[in-house]
Amino acid sequence: MLLRRFLARAAFACVCSFAATAHAANDYTDTWWAAGGTEEGWGVNLTQQKDFIYGTFYIYGQDGKATWLTAQMSRDGIGEIFRGGLYRVTGTWYGSPTWNGYQIVPVGNATFTASSAYDGELNYTVDGSTITKRIERLKMVDLSVAGDYRGAVAGTRSGCPANGKFTDVIDFLVSHSPTTGEIRIDQYSTSTGTRICRMEGKARQLGKLLLVEDAAYDCGSGWSEKRARVYNLRRTPTGFEGQWFSDGGGGCTESGDFSGVTYR
């Protein structure tokens, strides 16, 4: 069954080349705070465009008053490390009848090192004082990825009886309760309506992303009763997307991306 499923998926490659573009790479754009919410009232907004992150800090000076700092950080090489200058910004009083400009002064440096898509370490130096914090995405409201979607999966198997890349056009039926975290992602053949795979578990929300650390993963004989990590799971403006990794045992692994647009 696993071999047939792999060959069937490969056959779809010619009609669903768009699946190769299904992508859920790490985008750190979100509101972040000290891990575990240990410092409520402190935070940083990270806005990412390609390999550049603009950070706006909401922190406080020794006098307890809000201090406006910004960071301009670029990716360091090919890793998940971003470094750059840190600046103090002052400007025209918001109630002034005329805009008299602003002043931006270098005060130090900042480094964001991502441990995952969900958390990392922020190190910054301000006027000679160095601060290091573990940070994570801040959840503000419950988000749900429940819905009916049409899209694709694009994955790779290695160390398995049938190795290589595969793509499939897929109909997704997703049920998800933000209250309990329970989530089920069913994949159906668009031609026959037959269910191909199911991922099921409990999702945890961090910021705008969902994470299912230990999902039951079943694609029939040869890949039944497996476990998977479903990550970078999120709503998009037109649907949803995510990534997964599954260990099939004996050195055989499967990983890939999936995405879909709402169509019902």
The span from the CA of 139 to the CA of 46, in Å, is: 14
Instruction: Answer whether 2-25+141-262 and 30-137 agree in fold.
Output: yes
Judge: domain 30-137, CATH 1.10.10: no
User: What is the H or E stretch that residue 1 is in?
Assistant: none
pLDDT reported for residue 67:
87
Q: Where are the domains of the chain?
A: 2-25+141-262, 30-137
pLDDT reported for residue 221:
64
Which DSSP state fits 4? H
pLDDT reported for residue 77:
84
Output the 3-class SS for 215-234: EEEECCCCCCCEEEEEEEEE
Range 2-25+141-262: architecture per CATH: Beta Barrel (2.40)
In the chain, where does DSSP find H-type helix? 2-11
Q: What is the DSSP string of 115-133?
A: SSSSEEEEEEEETTEEEEE
User: What is the H or E stretch that residue 191 is in?
Assistant: none
Tokens of 64: 């307890």
pLDDT reported for residue 219:
87
pLDDT reported for residue 225:
85
211 by Cβ neighbours in 10 Å (0-12 / 13-18 / 19+) ranks as buried
The span from the CA of 33 to the CA of 207, in Å, is: 10
Q: What is the pLDDT along the chain (264 residues), one digit of tens a residue?
A: 333 344 344 333 333 333 333 334 689 999 999 999 999 999 999 999 999 999 999 998 888 888 889 999 999 987 899 999 999 999 999 999 999 999 999 999 999 999 999 999 999 999 889 999 999 999 999 999 999 999 999 999 999 888 899 899 999 999 999 999 999 999 999 999 999 999 999 999 999 999 999 999 998 766 788 999 999 999 999 999 999 999 988 899 999 999 999 987
258 by Cβ neighbours in 10 Å (0-12 / 13-18 / 19+) ranks as buried
- What are the beta bridge partners of residue 239? 261
**Strands in the chain per DSSP E:** 30-34, 43-49, 52-60, 66-75, 81-91, 102-114, 119-126, 129-137, 147-158, 164-176, 182-189, 195-202, 204-206, 209-218, 226-235, 239-249, 252-262
229 by Cβ neighbours in 10 Å (0-12 / 13-18 / 19+) ranks as middle
Tokens of 15: 């009609």
pLDDT reported for residue 160:
87
Which residues, including other chains, have CB under 8 Å from residue 125's CB and lie 6 or more apart?
A: 86, 108, 109, 110, 131
